Structure 1
């Protein structure tokens, strides 16, 4: 399969980071994907819509951007099982399901990215996570070239985590996702901004409210390049939380697993004095401190340097270490913030 010509990545990631791409492949089928992986003898990275990706160096690995599309739907009583190609746009899927009367995704409206990337991060917002509706994924194994169905439990979904970020990292690709939705709408209104809606609210109203909230808080990448929430909301033990809340009585928090509390990373960053701050071409959004933005011609090193300043100051102030939600990609593939930072220092 001949790769599409590509010399730069600015249009391939929502942070608009420009780097040289040696080759970009756009497989439209399992056969295409098999051919690419079989014949490729170079580091590569699977790219969705680039909404959660930071290219950290001046060159990327070979990029493979799957374009497997399509939907199939099966009804079983009130349940609706919808299987969707990994290349489909997530928000367009949410809109389609809402319009068809297939419910469960309304709180996940306007999350950027592709359907195939959703299980990797276990995307979530406003009290709902993908794990609430995931039924299975189709997984293409890079070693055997087989496609197998993995049940939701096998995916080991957790807060912004999954088996695809750990044991199966770099070992295959999600080619399709099956969701279990319902024709019966049950509103989930526990989060601020939704809890003011009436009890008899419609799916359309929840969907529109989620979009309105997101648009009021998060900048459009088309206007200000960004990757959405740059850091995960940290999860701490109850004992750590009690110490923090005594010193910071107004600190927001959210329920987490038993014995733990989830903190608001944006609030921590704001309290550390970074909201609206600019460092060269990189900055922190003036309305949402959790969002790092490209203010012009920032490169990966600029974003990393800013992220490290934030992590250092938040840790000094609260003794809480922020972990990036964004995925770091160097010329060899996936990396982490510590390795990326060291590389930048050595260059």
Structure 2
């Protein structure tokens, strides 16, 4: 284990916010975590787990010891009657892992192409896009308890997946509760990819691609390529314009609430859900309130997609975490006043 002191985190968060860590440990092996837990000098400030930094907003320097997850590895574990099981280290780049599965002839994750971040962060957020969520392909994961140093394995039920939610985002309020926020560091994740693959279609953008190209039975690789093109057209590259991807969750409402909104705004973008609720497009709600392109300091709403907040000051004059959250709260207030809907941020605010 090697401990880095007074480390800049600007290059380690996709927003490009300038902040520093008092100490940082790069976790490439399980032993690195145990060494960090056993080090008396690192015990007092607590621990902060950092993956790809694509889903956080830093509002100041981090006093806790940063455990930067860089566990490598990709492998095919085996097969069941219905699935092929594949595993990736938590430090692997998510998009690169999706591309790798397709290169192995294993479809199933293509709808989740180009989502920023690492494999280890994917179950924390239960990432999802274009009709597919991580939980639909999840098998199990290995993690290490940051209190005891013991390794443990969780299946899908134990992860408590919800919409952009999991047990890793909740603290245990009482003894016996199973909240793992701040307590677990994910080491490896295993996925169950369907052997009898069927494309997941139905989103408007994908239907348009099918019509444009005259392809009505696309392959997994075609869907992958289409989604990469769609996302690149809509979303800024964090390497060029700092951002944390979609900043707000798409809210769900009752059919009655949706009809009330449609009565006032007939063009509201909405999607019926299997449980009878209706998902509204948060980006549309924000755009309807006139926020696209507006800014607070160097934090701005992306002019091509209102769901994305960006750092328009670059690396030289970056937006602060305070500017980002001031803008986010102003958007939340505006959407609530017009639609009666409370938007919930996706990123973790540190």
With normalisation by structure 1, the TM-score equals 0.91
1:97-123 deviation digits (Å, cap 9, x = unpaired):
011111110000000100000000000
Q: Secondary structure at the match of 2:8?
A: coil
Distance 1:317 1:60 in 2: 39
Shift in Å, 1:70: 1.0
Aligned to 2:146: 142
109-118 vs 187-196, greater mean Cα deviation: 187-196
Shift in Å, 1:305: 0.8
| Residues 174 and 58 of structure 1: CA distance in aligned 2, closer, same or farther (over 3 Å) | closer
Aligned to 1:187: 199
Shift in Å, 1:5: 4.2
Q: Is the 8 A contact 2:45 2:63 kept in 1?
A: no
1:262-314 deviation digits (Å, cap 9, x = unpaired):
11110111011100112221110000000001111211111011111111111
Aligned partner (choices 270, 273, 280) of residue 263 of structure 1? 280
Aligned to 1:205: 222
Shift in Å, 1:79: 2.1
Q: Is the 8 A contact 1:101 1:183 kept in 2?
A: no
226-235 vs 37-46, greater mean Cα deviation: 37-46
Aligned partner (choices 44, 54, 74) of residue 71 of structure 1? 74
Which 5+ residue runs of structure 2 have no aligned equivalent?
171-178
Counterparts of residues 236-315 of structure 1 (less than 5 Å): 236-256=253-273, 258-296=275-313, 297-315=318-336
1:315-343 deviation digits (Å, cap 9, x = unpaired):
111111110001101xxxxxxxxxxxxxx
Shift in Å, 1:77: 4.8
Aligned to 1:345: none
Count matched residues. 329
Please tell me whether residue 233 in structure 1 is matched to residue 250 in structure 2: yes
Q: Is the 8 A contact 1:235 1:260 kept in 2?
A: yes
* Alignment RMSD: 1.4
Aligned to 2:100: 96
Aligned partner (choices 108, 113, 122) of residue 117 of structure 2? 113
Q: Secondary structure at the match of 2:188?
A: strand
Which 5+ residue runs of structure 1 have no aligned equivalent?
330-347
Q: Secondary structure at the match of 2:334?
A: helix
Aligned partner (choices 46, 51, 54) of residue 54 of structure 2? 51
